[in-house]
Amino acid sequence: MLFNSLIFITVFLPLALTGWYLLQRLGNPAYAKLFLAGMSFWFYGYYNISYLWILLFSLILNYALSALFDKARALGLRRVLLLTGVFLNLGMLFYYKYFNFFIENCNFFLHTDIFLEKIALPLGISFFTFQQLSYVIERYRGSVEHYGILDYSCFISFFPQLIAGPIVLHSEFVPQLRERKCRRLSAGNLFDGAALFILGLAKKVLLADMLAVLVNAEYNNIIYLDAPSAWVTIIAYMLELYFDFSGYCDMARGIGKMFGFELPENFRSPLMADSVKDFWKRWHITLSRFFTSYVYIPLGGNRTGKARQCINLMAVFLASGVWHGANWTFIVWGAVNGIAVVAETVFPKFRFRAAWLNRLATGIFEVLAFSIFRSESLQQAALLWKKLFTGGNTGMLIGISNVLQFPENYVLRKAFELLMPEYVNIVYLVTLAALLVISIILVRGSRAQQWIEEKGRTVSGLLCLATLFTWSFISLSQVSTFLYFNF
């Protein structure tokens, strides 16, 4: 089920909220928790029921491992349980996400002819696997108790963050689930949550999906691009990905707030970062936190000298690349970011004096890096980079803007087609310029939560929210999935 769908907004969410708060009135919180877990399983299984069995198997497996830690007193036995948990979780992730990639590379490099299986990637498996892996590791360390099955089920399956994050830690969710005040209906939480949801919905529907029309069309026609159109395409993709994922996370946090939960922030104006290292402190914050806690620090972090620190940083970014997908483009993307962070670590004073130049340089670097991320293959990425730097100018910018045919510019397009057909391309160029300018202004502006606190309850703020919701709701006929569902 998608947040940006009619059934979710008009049926599922109202039903889930009503049931959650009505069942709290029974006194025993178990009924509300059972209801919340059941609704979350419905949400996950709605798209494909077979995915639900994978989630349930993973949940029961990790819950059983957690229970065994209470019976294992010897350090050796606890280590065996930890290794078992890591192996089973990563093994499941490997099979569904990387098995065919591994076989393809074996066939290519070893000249074998191993048959590829048809394996469907379960939605959100990277997210709920990492969430459970962190819990198993903390159980081994003895820093967390063995939760009851209802608490654990709600923690893993809570539907707002189940499919595309943020990656929530047990310490951020379970205490809230158990706190009585979090189970009371709050008008403030409902308003703030709904406002955050609306802003996230608008990011997705009114910006990301519109930018996707151009990006998807031109990544299928790279051979025809010139330099200006290639640059516009990769900039549009960077903005599309930002608004798509940031919009999802805003909606997730907004829904969580409506239920009385504070989910962690995943974006903090990343496109205003003044270094690549700073970018990764702002972009997909919960993933960076996971890799820092469970890869970087266990490897030694920055405690064992500069050389070892650089190796540890590269390990983190290569792991991040692999996590994002089974393709060499993701691995190269991770390596490129890792090399940049290592360079900043080794040469910390190699910076421009003007802050805006550092932000510009970082932005250009990430736009180029994410152009590899979006490519279907390294060959396609190489062709795209060739176009970026040697593509010349053939006037293709007008051609790529002609795909931007939306209901929003329909009247203007038709008026020009009837009255001044020779100038109709101006409508498309203006649409493209407006999309890019509005997007850049928004990524430089206030974060959604900050805007709500400052302006959300003013008359102009309420009018803005009402307009955005109405506009987005009308546009739901063009529903599309979120990009991070693929990761």
Got the DSSP string for 435-486? HHHHHHHHHHS--HHHHHHHHTTSHHHHHHHHHHHHHHHHGGGG----GGGG
Query: Helix 170-178 and helix 125-141: axis angle, to 10°?
Result: 80
- Give catalytic status of residue 324 as yes or no: yes
Mean pLDDT of 15-43: 93
Interval 115-141: pLDDT, tens: 888 888 888 899 999 999 999 999 999
What DSSP letter does each residue of 383-430 carry, written as one string? HHHHHHHH----SHHHHHHTT---GGGHHHHHHHHHH-GGGHHHHHHH
* Residue 485, pLDDT above cutoff 90: no
Catalytic residue among 111, 146, 170, 324: 324
What DSSP letter does each residue of 109-174 carry, written as one string? HH---PPPP-----TTHHHHHHHHHHHHHHHHHT-S----HHHHHHHHH-HHHHTT-----HHHHH
Give the pLDDT score at 80: 94
C-alpha angle with apex 485: 387 to 127, nearest 5 degrees? Answer: 120
Interval 377-400: pLDDT, tens: 999 999 999 999 998 998 898 888
Among 165-174, 365-374, 412-421, whose mean pLDDT is lowest?
412-421
Computed over every residue of the chain, the mean pLDDT equals 91
* Residue 182, pLDDT above cutoff 70: no
Q: Please tell me the chain's helix, strand, coil percentages from 3-state DSSP, rounded to the nearest 5.
A: 75, 0, 25
Rg from Cα positions in the chain = 24
Could you tell me if 135 and 66 are in contact, meaning their C-beta atoms sit under 8 angstroms apart? yes
Chain Cα centroid distance, residue 242: 9
C-alpha angle with apex 352: 350 to 355, nearest 5 degrees? Answer: 130
* Residue 172, pLDDT above cutoff 70: yes
Report CA-CA distances (Å) from 449 to 55, 193, 257: 31, 9, 11
Mean pLDDT of 143-153: 93
309/404 Cα distance (integer angstroms): 46
Would you give the DSSP letter of residue 181?
A: G
Interval 192-204: pLDDT, tens: 999 999 999 999 9
130/67 Cα distance (integer angstroms): 19
Could you tell me if 89 and 126 are in contact, meaning their C-beta atoms sit under 8 angstroms apart? no
Give the pLDDT score at 428: 87
Give the pLDDT score at 479: 63
163/43 Cα distance (integer angstroms): 10
With cut-offs at 50, 70 and 90, classify the pLDDT of residue 145.
very high
- Claim: this prediction has a pTM higher than 0.95: no
Mean pLDDT of 174-196: 88
Could you tell me if 399 and 199 are in contact, meaning their C-beta atoms sit under 8 angstroms apart? no
426/407 Cα distance (integer angstroms): 17
Chain Cα centroid distance, residue 267: 10
271/367 Cα distance (integer angstroms): 10
